[in-house]
Amino acid sequence: MHERGIQIRIWIVAVLLFLSFCGLGAKLAYLHLSNHSKVTGREYKRTLLGLRGRIFDCNGSQYPMAVSLPARQFYIDPKSVKKEHDVNTIAKTVASCLSLDEKAVLEKFTQTGSRYIKLGYSLDDHVFEVLSDAKHISGVGAEELVIRRYPQGRRMSHVLGFVNDMGVGGAGIEQQFNRYLTGTEGLIEGEKDAGRREIFTRRKTYIPAIAGSDVYLTLDHNIQYEVEQAVKEVVEKFDAMAGWAIVQRVKTGELLAIASYPDFEPENYSKEATFDVWRNNALAIVYEPGSIMKAVTVSALLNERLATPDTMIDVGEGTWFYAGKPLRDHVTGRISVSTALKKSSNIACAKMGLMLGNKKLEAYLHAYNFGNKLGIELPGEERGILARSKDWDKLKPTRIPIGQGVAVTGLQMINAYSTLANDGVMMRPYLVDRIVSSTGDTVFKAKPEILGRPVRPEVARKVREMLIGVTEEGGTGKRASVAGYSIGGKTGTAQKAVPGGYSSTDYYASFVGFVPAREPVFSVLVTVERPRPQHTGGFVSAPAFAKIAAATARYLEIPPDLPPEEDEADAGQL
Amino acid sequence: MRRNRKRQVHAKVLPPSVAGMVVLIVSMVLSYWFMDAKCAQLGQDIRKNEQKYAAFEDECVREEARWSEKKTPEKLEQAMLQHGIAMSYPTADQVVRMDASGQPVAGQLSLVRFQRNLSASERVAKTEQK
C-alpha cells in the first residue's frame, strides 16, 4: 500500500510537470507564431530620416556647397518639469548648451499655456546627452531634425538657392533638382521594451533610409570666389543697385562661375533677403544691352558678305537723322567696320542694321538665341524681349544693332560672345555636370550640346580680331586689358528703360569678352546696374572684367599669349 | 516506531520513457532559454552598434561640413594673413616657362632673361646686403 502511494505521488508530480511544460510550450508557440503587437500592445515604430543629397562644385566631394546634417530640435514642456528639479538650474544648463540667453529660457519655462515651446537645434551629440539626463533635467524634449547647411556661406547663393522649412527646395538648384536631392525616409517597425527601447529580436520591418542624389556642378568655387569679390567691389565702389557676372568655357558652354550681387545667406534666406535679392540677375533680369550688341550686328553683316572689316562707312558729323529722330555719335567722318567696333560707333552700326534689312537682322538675332530661353538648369530664366520684325517701326532696325529696342539676359549675351569665341558654334550653357545617386550610380551626365552655328568660322575669327582692338590703345575697353593675355571684348553702356522712355541718370554698364582672344578658352561678362557717378562700361565694368579674367586665366593655368615686352609692362598687376 | 533496516524497497520510481521525456523537455526548454537569452543579447548588441554606426556617420557628415567651412577661400586667406603670409600671383620676372626639352620657351619671359637683366653688380650688391 505504501509503495503504491509513492508511485501515485510520483506520477502526479510527473503529470503536473508535464502539463506545466506543455503549457509553457504552448505559450511559447503562441508568442512566436501569433501577432506580437496584438499580444503585447507595445508597437515600436521609428521613421529613419533620408538625408537630402549634397551639392558639390566641379572639384568633387572635397568641396560640398550644400550638405544636410542630422541635428536635434530641442523644446520645452514646462508642465513636465519634475518637482525635485530646479528650473533655474535647468534653464542655465539649456542656455549654455544651446548658446541661448538664460533669462529668455527661464521665461519660456513660465509659459504654461503651451507644452511645446521651441528652443533651438544642436548638431552636437554631447548636448543631447546632457539635456536628456533624466537625473538632473526634466521638461526638455528633443526630436530628430535635418538641417541644410551651406559650408561656404553666401558663395553661389543664387545658384544653390535654398530649402524651405518643409525641406523643399525653394530656389536655384535646390528647387530645380528637388526630386533628385530629396531623400527617401526609412522605417523600423517592431516592439519596444518597458524603457521604450526597441527589442531588436522583435523587429518586423526594416526599410533603410535612402539619401538623395548628389549634384555636381560645373562651377568652380575658387573662380566663383574671385568673381563674387569683383562684382561686390564694383557695386560698392560705384554705389550701384546691383551687379552680375558670368564666366563660361567657350568650347563646351559650361559655366565656371555665375555671380549676382546683392547676395544672401541661403541658411537664413527668409531673414535677410527679399525676392529681389533671391533673384539670379544674370539670367532673370532683362535689359537693353547697349553697345555689346554691336559685335552681333557686325558678325551678321560679315556673314552675309555685305561688308568686310575694311569697308568704309560714313558717320557724318556725329549726328544722323533717320525717321525724324536723331542718333548721336562721338565718332565722325568715314570709318571702317573694324574701327566702328573699336570706337563703338552708333551711327555706323545703325547703318549696318539698315544694310542687313529687317528680316535678316531678326534671323540673326534668333540664330544667336535672343528672345528664347537657353535652357539652363536654373529656375527663373527669362527669354528676353525681341519683337517680330513685321511689328518693327522704321526706327527699330537702326536701334536694335546698337542694343536698343531689344532686351536680353546676361546669359544670352555671354553665350553670343562665346559663340564668336568658339568659331561660330553656339553651345548650350549648363552648370550641372552630373547627378550621382547615393549608391554611386550616375543618373545624369551632362554633355556639351550644340545649339546652332549662327556665323561661319572665318567670320567669327574676323570679329574676334576686331574685338581685340577694343581693348587696345584707342579702344573703349582698354581698362579690360590683362597683362600677358590678349583680350577681345566690347564695352556697353545702355540707358535704363523707364516707363515712357529712358532714364537720363540710370544706366547698365557692361563689358563682355573672351580670353585669350586668339585662342579663347573662356569668356566673361560683367554688368553693373545703375552705377554712379561714372556709368560707362569701359570705366565701370571693364576693370572688374580684367580682375576676373586675370584670376581665371592664372587659375586655369592658361599660358600667356602676349610677347614678354607687353607682359613685363604690367607685371604683377592683377 | 522502529524501522526495519533489512527491508528493501524495490519500487519503480519513474518509467525510463517518462524520465527520458522529462529530461528531453527540460533540456529543450533550457536550451531554448539559453538561445533566447543569447539572441536577445546579440540583438541588443546589434541595436547598440547600429546606433553607434549611425552616430558615427552623423558625426562624420558634421565633421566634413565643419572642415569644408574651414577651408573656404576667404578663411584660408584670413588664416594666412594671421601668420603674416600674403599670397599673390607671381610677377612676370618670377615665371620661368619651359618647353618639353627643358629650354626656356622662345618669346616668353624666362629665367635666362631674368638673369640677363639682373646685372652682375646688382647681384653682388644684393649679396653684400644679406
Whole-complex ipTM? 0.71
Domain of residue A200, CATH code: 3.90.1310.10
- The closest of A158, A161, A199, A159 to A39, measured between CA atoms, is A199
pLDDT of residue A570: 44
Same domain, A284 and A145: no
Same domain, A242 and A373: yes
Of the residues A127, A200, A221, A562, the best mutation for testing chain B's interface (the one with the most B CB atoms within 10 Å of its CB) is: A200
Q: Is residue A153 part of a domain?
A: yes
> Domain tally for chain A?
2
Q: Is residue B102 part of a domain?
A: yes
How many Cα atoms are found within 13 Å in the side-chain-facing hemisphere of A15?
A: 6
Average pLDDT, chain A: 89
Q: Which residue among A67, A69, A571 places its CB closest to the CB of B91?
A: A571
The answer for A 478-517 residues in CB contact with B (under 8 A) is 483-484
Distance CA A287, CA A385 (A): 9
Query: Please, are residues A129 and A34 in contact by the beta-carbon 8 Å criterion?
Result: no
Distance CA B27, CA B63 (A): 53
Same domain, A266 and A414: yes
Same domain, B65 and B101: no
pLDDT of residue B106: 58
Q: What are the chain B neighbours of A28 within 8 Å (beta carbons)?
A: 32
Q: Is residue A294 part of a domain?
A: yes
Same domain, A160 and A266: no
pLDDT of residue A78: 82
pLDDT of residue A569: 42
Same domain, B34 and B69: yes
Q: Is residue B108 part of a domain?
A: yes
Boundary of a domain, candidates A175, A195, A217: A217
Range of the domain at A254: 221-565
pLDDT of residue A70: 87
The answer for A 216-245 residues in CB contact with B (under 8 A) is 221-222, 225
Same domain, B45 and B73: yes
Same domain, B31 and B51: yes
Kindly state the cell numbers that stand for A422. Answer: 568658339
pLDDT of residue A103: 86
Of the residues A54, A518, A567, A573, the best mutation for testing chain B's interface (the one with the most B CB atoms within 10 Å of its CB) is: A567
Same domain, A187 and A320: no
Domain of residue A449, CATH code: 3.40.710.10
Range of the domain at B23: 16-80
Same domain, A432 and A540: yes
pLDDT of residue A30: 84
pLDDT of residue A327: 92
Interface check B30 vs A, CB under 8 A: no
Same domain, B61 and B109: no
> Domain tally for chain B?
2
Same domain, A207 and A238: no
Angle at A566 between CA A561 and CA A572, to 5 degrees: 90
Average pLDDT over residues B49-72: 88
Q: Which residue among A24, A198, A568 places its CB closest to the CB of B92?
A: A568
State which amino acid sits at residue A118. K
Same domain, A211 and A231: no
Q: What are the chain A neighbours of B40 within 8 Å (beta carbons)?
A: 199-201
The DSSP secondary-structure symbol of A80 reads G
pLDDT of residue A306: 94
pLDDT of residue A165: 84
Q: Is A205 exposed, middle or buried (0-12, 13-18, 19+ CB in 10 A)?
A: exposed
Same domain, A490 and A456: yes
Across-strand partners of A144?
Answer: A72
Q: Do A572 and B88 touch (CB under 8 A)?
A: yes
Percent of chain A topping pLDDT 90: 60
Interface check A15 vs B, CB under 8 A: no
- The closest of A246, A236, A211 to A510, measured between CA atoms, is A246
State which residues of chain A have pLDDT below 70: 1, 35-41, 563-574
Distance CA A549, CA A227 (A): 9
Same domain, B75 and B108: no
Sheet order of strands, A255-261 included: A255-261, A242-249, A522-529, A501-515, A488-498
Which tens digits make up the pLDDT trace of A125-138?
Answer: 888 888 888 888 88
Sign of CA dihedral A465, A468, A473, A474: positive
Same domain, A303 and A204: no
Boundary of a domain, candidates A171, A187, A217: A217
Q: What are the chain A neighbours of B97 within 8 Å (beta carbons)?
A: 559
Q: Is residue A440 part of a domain?
A: yes
Q: Is A486 exposed, middle or buried (0-12, 13-18, 19+ CB in 10 A)?
A: buried
In which band, very low, low, confident or very high, does the pLDDT at B58 lie, cut at 50, 70 and 90? confident
Boundary of a domain, candidates A158, A183, A217: A217
Q: Is residue A16 part of a domain?
A: no
Q: Do A149 and B43 touch (CB under 8 A)?
A: no
Same domain, B72 and B122: no
CA distances from A94 to A71, A142, B44 (A): 16, 12, 31
The answer for B 40-79 residues in CB contact with A (under 8 A) is 40, 42-44, 46-47, 55, 58-59, 61-62, 64-65, 68-69, 72-74
Interface check A23 vs B, CB under 8 A: no
SS3 A171: strand
What is the chain A residue with the closest CA to B58? A70
Same domain, B22 and B76: yes
Query: Please, are residues A329 and A337 in contact by the beta-carbon 8 Å criterion?
Result: no
Which tens digits make up the pLDDT trace of A264-296?
Answer: 999 888 887 777 888 899 999 999 999 999 999
